Amino acid sequence: MIMKFPNDFLWGAASAAYQVEGAYNEDGKGLSIWDEFSQIKGKTKHNTNGKVAVDFYHHYQEDIKLMAEMGLKAYRFSISWSRILPNGEGEINQAGLDFYERVIDELLKNDIEPIVTLYHWDLPEKLQTKYGGWENRKLVDLFVEYCRILFEKFGAKIKYWVTFNEQNVFTSLGYRWASHPPNVSDTKRMFQANHVVNLANAKVIQLFHKLVPNEKIGPSFGYGEVYPLTSSPADVLAAVNANQFNNDWWLDVYCRGYYPEKILRLLKKLHLDFEITAEDLKVLKAGKPDFLGINYYHGGTVKAPDFEKVKNQKDFDKTDPYLMAADKQAASPESYLFESVENPYLDKTNWGWEIDPIGFRIALRQVYEKYQLPIMITENGLGAFDKLEDGKINDQYRIDYLNDHLVQVGKAIADGVPVLGFCAWSFTDLLSWLNGYDKRYGFVYIDRDDYSAENLTRIKKQSFYWYQKIIESNGGKL
Ligand code: BGP
């Protein structure tokens, strides 16, 4: 089947500052909460951190040259707030602005569209210690001020801006599961912080529309469709609940300006509710995005909750927080809504993430039909152990994974979903937040491991040449 992609489809790849840049304290950069958190023993695999990462800070010209050789049309990267404002507020670090300007200009010179993420999890440490981070409403204005600097500086050069990367992930892992900074394990505080981020998202979108009226902005959401385990109506209801809890809880706020009522009521019952003022509701309504960024890795499967377990919640297991585990705390909202189970039809990656290309088509259809916004796929890819043999990396498994997922994107486009582009995660190998340097995603191998960053040689994998052909044929070779 020949896939038809729009002529201006953005064939891209993505990264995030902390995961690639390194130079964590160079040229005036302030520390971020990730620089601090990764120092806590046992939090990341082999205590890996982003001090050097893959040193994009010093290798950006070489990496962009490889992007140009591949024919990449777009590169999504994030700006590190504490490189621009070392204290998160106050004095601007000119060297930080200059670095991103050089990156942007280099991309444009090579006809690669820069897609800029404003926040990919690396909050300036000073804002955490001084104000308590995202739990404090003060952060809304501070985020807006940081973004104002970037809109004024780069507004004329950047067409696509991403506000927050995976708000669902960083609030849950940071404030509920204590597996990301700020290392908190308190569901109520998570909902409070999440609301503040929603306000920041909406306010920054409003400002953007004023300052950069001709370009586009939207959040990137980590979306996964949730399936019922069986056709039993109780399981189907559990899946409806899970989709509301895992997806609509964020997307309804972004696109419609209000929270799903059912979930709000449940939170109230469990004393997990948070303050929403009349002014907040106005702010949320006024910050509608121009597109939705979707990061897609996997969805989930659920069955009806077992209310016996609800009564005795300490029986619940806490497994990988990425895999939507239930909560050990007394008031776990999930336990009233659904119970997560394995999907018997799906294979898994080496890290236990389900592989579900058709779920991608379903996700794109659902999101578009519900919110009627164009979609930018801001992440999708396979984390795997790659082997360097005779100077080569044969990552056929990654080619298969991406090919299968892109075929489903093509089908979703044929179904009528306006998809602006596809950013594979990732261009070069990079640091996985919790899993170190062996969980590789790139088209370009980087010669380093969890212990040594001496080499950093860039080596094109087989998937590099495959993606080059896909781009050249505008998806015709899928
Ligand atoms: C997403 C993040 C990315 C990236 C990716 C892969 O949630 O937005 O930054 O890390 O997941 O995750 P991991 O590194 O855990 O494999």
- Out of 77, 432, 434, 439, give the residue to mutate to test ligand 1, the one with the largest number of ligand atoms within 8 Å of its CB: 432
Q: Is the pLDDT of residue 80 over 70?
A: yes
**% of residues, the chain, pLDDT over 70:** 95
Q: Is the pLDDT of residue 474 over 70?
A: yes
Using pLDDT thresholds of 50, 70 and 90, give the confidence band for residue 312. Answer: low
Is the CB of 222 inside a 6 Å radius of any atom of ligand 1?
yes
Q: Residue of the nearest CA to atom 6 in ligand 1?
A: 432
Decide if 107 is inside a domain: yes
Using pLDDT thresholds of 50, 70 and 90, give the confidence band for residue 313. Answer: low
Using pLDDT thresholds of 50, 70 and 90, give the confidence band for residue 306. Answer: confident
So what's the pLDDT on residue 331? 63
Decide if 93 is inside a domain: yes
Decide if 4 is inside a domain: no
Q: Give 142-182 pLDDT, tens digit per residue.
A: 999 999 999 999 999 999 999 999 999 999 999 999 999 99
> What is the average per-residue pLDDT within 272-295?
97
**ipTM value:** 0.98
Decide if 234 is inside a domain: yes
So what's the pLDDT on residue 98? 98
> What is the average per-residue pLDDT within 279-287?
97
Decide if 1 is inside a domain: no
Q: Is the pLDDT of residue 324 over 70?
A: no
Using pLDDT thresholds of 50, 70 and 90, give the confidence band for residue 326. Answer: very low
> What is the average per-residue pLDDT within 366-375?
98
- Specify the range with the lowest mean pLDDT, choosing from 40-44, 235-239, 319-323, 414-418: 319-323
> What is the average per-residue pLDDT within 110-135?
98
Decide if 321 is inside a domain: yes
> What is the average per-residue pLDDT within 327-333?
61
Give how many domains the chain has, as a whole number.
1
Residue range of the domain that includes 435: 10-472
- Which atom belonging to ligand 1 lies closest to the Cα atom of 297? 11
Q: Is the pLDDT of residue 225 over 60?
A: yes
Using pLDDT thresholds of 50, 70 and 90, give the confidence band for residue 315. Answer: very low
> What is the average per-residue pLDDT within 101-108?
98
Q: Is the pLDDT of residue 316 over 50?
A: no
> What is the average per-residue pLDDT within 328-349?
86
Q: Is the pLDDT of residue 477 over 90?
A: yes
- Specify the range with the lowest mean pLDDT, choosing from 270-279, 302-311, 414-423: 302-311
Decide if 477 is inside a domain: no
- Specify the range with the lowest mean pLDDT, choosing from 101-110, 281-290, 306-315: 306-315
Does residue 225 have an active-site annotation?
no
So what's the pLDDT on residue 322? 43
Q: Is the pLDDT of residue 37 over 50?
A: yes
Pick from 92-101, 316-325, 333-342 the range whose average pLDDT is largest: 92-101
Q: Is the pLDDT of residue 325 over 50?
A: no
Q: Is the pLDDT of residue 314 over 80?
A: no
Q: Is the pLDDT of residue 330 over 90?
A: no
So what's the pLDDT on residue 114? 98
Does residue 379 have an active-site annotation?
yes
Q: Looking at residue 405, which CATH number applies to its domain?
A: 3.20.20.80
Considering 113, 135, 225, 379, which one is annotated as catalytic? 379
Q: Report the separation in Å between the CA atom of 16 and the middle of ligand 1, taken as the mean of its atom positions.
A: 9
Decide if 478 is inside a domain: no
So what's the pLDDT on residue 53? 97
- Specify the range with the lowest mean pLDDT, choosing from 242-246, 318-322, 386-390, 420-424: 318-322
Q: Give 428-443 pLDDT, tens digit per residue.
A: 999 999 999 999 999 9
So what's the pLDDT on residue 412? 97
Mean pLDDT of the chain: 94
- Which atom belonging to ligand 1 lies closest to the Cα atom of 433? 14
Is the CB of 16 inside a 6 Å radius of any atom of ligand 1?
yes
Using pLDDT thresholds of 50, 70 and 90, give the confidence band for residue 4. Answer: confident
- Out of 425, 428, 430, 434, give the residue to mutate to test ligand 1, the one with the largest number of ligand atoms within 8 Å of its CB: 425
Within 8 A by CB and 6+ apart from 390, the residues are none
Q: Residue of the nearest CA to atom 10 in ligand 1?
A: 432
Q: Report the separation in Å between the CA atom of 432 and the middle of ligand 1, taken as the mean of its atom positions.
A: 6
> What is the average per-residue pLDDT within 127-141?
98
